[in-house]
Chain A
Amino acid sequence: MRCGALIGLPMLLQASPAFAHAFLERASPPVGSEVTVSPPEISITFTEGVEPLFSTITVHGANGAAIATDTPHVAPDGNRRLSVKLPKLPPGTYTVNWHVTSVDTHKTEGNYTFTVTH
């Protein structure tokens, strides 16, 4: 027989977010930032190591046109930071799309914008 008042009430947090994935921790230029000059590269630090061969960073201008970048590479000091070189960007808002595979093979993706003002 049911006696406890809370019996039957669902606890929705039984499946809490799995963080065994690489999420964006910091980016340069920072997420949502305005920079005065064109940045030489996009650099994203993730919460865990990523596999550069299975990871991409693409950049698009406000009109949707893709900006040519080189192949993503990890920093020499570790595999948590992924970077791509950029050409000189004219003023405008740019969208960065990233897709990465962490070293434990989980895939994640995301996007953010930054603005070049001059």
Chain B
Amino acid sequence: MMSVGVVRNFARTGATGENGATLDNDDSSSTAPTFYFGKGFGDLPIGWARAFAITGELSYQIADKKLKVTGVDPDSGALLFNNGTWNQWSGGLSLQYSIRYLQSQVKDFGLPEWVNRLTPLVEVAWSSPASKPNQGSTQYLIAPGIAYTADSYAVTVEALIPGNKQTGSHVGVIAQFHLYFDDLFPNSLGKPIVNWWN
């Protein structure tokens, strides 16, 4: 499976840094054409391996306002920049193992239903500056974790392990919580349009 998309990053809409986080709070907006792909291994001859799948994406982020050198600090001699940003490549891969697929398409091992709903996974993310000047660096992030998918929600927890010194020196944790509105509201959002007036 392959698809393409365009991601628009709006400036100054993220965390301000007051709480210590400055994630996604660029001064300059950017646009990133993105290529997505995914492949299940269901056609492999080895039964247990058929539950693996990979997904990935590759994007090229184009800055609205390019970073430029505006001068030199007379005291420190350091370069001064405007509030623009730089183009960059980014991409990622995930390797997932669907216990649901193993149980329902390969062999029923009699596991409890809550185990069937688990998907162990490892993600690797990468980004690298693609224009000069820039204040970035090539970064790698490795994120092993596990997803639990219920009927109307999904929870994913992953460790965030820096892949090089430029990415960081501490291990973090990220958790995501998704709601499936069509299952939460089966008589409105989850109801087929053709049945809305019935």
Which residue numbers of A lie inside 8 Å of B, CB to CB? 1-13, 16-20, 23-27, 30-33, 47-48, 104-105, 110-112
Contact = CB atoms under 8 A, between A and B. Distances in A.
Main SS at interface, chain A: loop
Nearest to B89: A8
Contacts of A24: 103-105
A16 B125 contact: no
A37 to B, nearest CB: 18
Interface string B130-155: 00000110010100000101111010
Given A31-B107, A104-B182, A10 B57 contact: yes
Contacts of A1: 26-27, 81, 83, 85, 135
Given A2-B26, A9-B92, A10-B57, A19 B150 contact: yes
Given A1-B135, A16-B178, A25 B113 contact: yes
A16 B104 contact: no
B123 A13 contact: yes
Interface string B149-169: 111101010101010001110
A101 B125 CA distance: 36
A1 B63 CA distance: 12
Interface string B1-37: 0000000000000000100011110110000000000
B160 A31 contact: no
Contact of A32 (B85, B90, B108, B186): B108
Lowest 8 CB-CB distances: which A-B pairs, in order?
A32-B107, A24-B104, A30-B108, A9-B125, A31-B108, A8-B127, A3-B22, A10-B92
B55 A12 contact: yes
Contacts of B106: 31-32, 112
A14 to B, nearest CB: 8
B90 A9 contact: yes
Contacts of A13: 94, 121, 123, 147, 156, 158, 176
B126 A9 contact: yes
B71 interface: no
